[in-house]
Chain A
Amino acid sequence: MSAKASEQPTTDAISAEAPSPRKRPSLWVRFWRNYALAMLFVIAMLVIWQLWIKIFHVPKYLFASPTGVVTSLRADWSRYLEPNLWPTLSEVLVGFGISIVAGVGLAIVLHLFTPLRRAVYPLLIGSQTIPIVVLAPILVILLGYGLLPKVVIVALICFFPIVVNGLDGLRLVDDDFIRMMRTLDASRWAIFRKVEFPGALPSIFSGMRVAATFAAIGAVFGEWAGASQGLGYLIQASTPNLQTARIFAAILLLTLIAMALFGLVSLLERIFCPWVSRGGVL
Chain B
Amino acid sequence: MGEQLVGVQGGGTGATAGSNVGIAFDGVGKAFGDVVALDGVTFEIERHSRIGIVGPSGGGKSTLLQLTAGLLEHDVGTIEVEGETSTQGRLSRCAMMPQRDLLLPWRTALDNAMIAVENRGVSKKDARAKTKPFFEHFGLAKFEDVRPDALSGGMRQRVSFLRTLMAEKDILLLDEPFGALDSITRGQMQEWLLRALGDVPRTVLLVTHDVDEALLLSRTVVVMSARPGRVVTVLDVGLQTEGLSRREIVTSPEFIELKESALEAIE
Contact = CB atoms under 8 A, between A and B. Distances in A.
Nearest to A198: B106
Interface string A205-239: 00000000000000000000000000000000000
Contact of A14 (B1, B71, B104, B155): B155
B120 interface: yes
Nearest to A191: B119
Interface stretch (B40-48, B87-95, B208-216, B228-236): B87-95
Contacts of B154: 13, 17
A150 to B, nearest CB: 37
A5 B243 CA distance: 8
A3 interface: yes
Contacts of A13: 139, 154, 185, 188-189, 192
Contact of B243 (A1, A19, A198): A1
- Chain A interface size band reads 35 or more
Given A10-B192, A182-B91, A275 B106 contact: yes
Contacts of A19: 150-152
A193 to B, nearest CB: 10
A179 B149 contact: no
Contacts, number: 102
Contacts of B104: 177, 194-195, 198
Contacts of B102: 174, 176-177, 180
Given A18-B152, A176-B98, A275-B105, A9 B192 contact: yes
Contact of A22 (B106, B150, B191): B150
Nearest to A190: B119
Contact of B96 (A10, A17, A180): A180
B167 A185 contact: yes
B147 A186 contact: no
B224 interface: no
Given A19-B150, A176-B102, A177-B104, A183 B95 contact: yes
Contact of B71 (A5, A182, A195): A182
Contacts of B199: 1, 6
Given A3-B1, A13-B154, A185 B66 contact: no
A184 B150 contact: no
A194 B98 contact: no
Interface residues of B, number: 48
B94 A183 contact: yes
Nearest to B93: A183
A277 B105 CA distance: 11
Contacts of B98: 176, 179-180
Interface of B: 1-2, 66, 69, 71, 91-92, 94-96, 98, 100, 102, 104-106, 115-116, 118-120, 137-140, 147, 149-152, 154-155, 163-164, 167, 169, 173, 185, 188-189, 191-192, 195-196, 198-199, 242-243
23 contacts: A1-B2, A5-B195, A9-B188, A9-B192, A10-B138, A13-B154, A14-B140, A14-B155, A19-B152, A177-B102, A180-B96, A181-B119, A182-B71, A182-B91, A183-B94, A183-B167, A184-B95, A184-B167, A185-B120, A187-B119, A190-B119, A198-B104, A275-B105
Given A5-B243, A9-B191, A13-B185, 18 more contacts: A1-B195, A1-B198, A1-B199, A6-B1, A6-B195, A7-B1, A12-B188, A19-B150, A19-B152, A179-B71, A181-B115, A183-B95, A184-B95, A184-B167, A186-B115, A187-B119, A190-B119, A194-B104
Interface of A: 1, 3, 5-7, 9-14, 17-19, 21-22, 174, 176-177, 179-187, 190, 194-195, 198, 273-275, 277
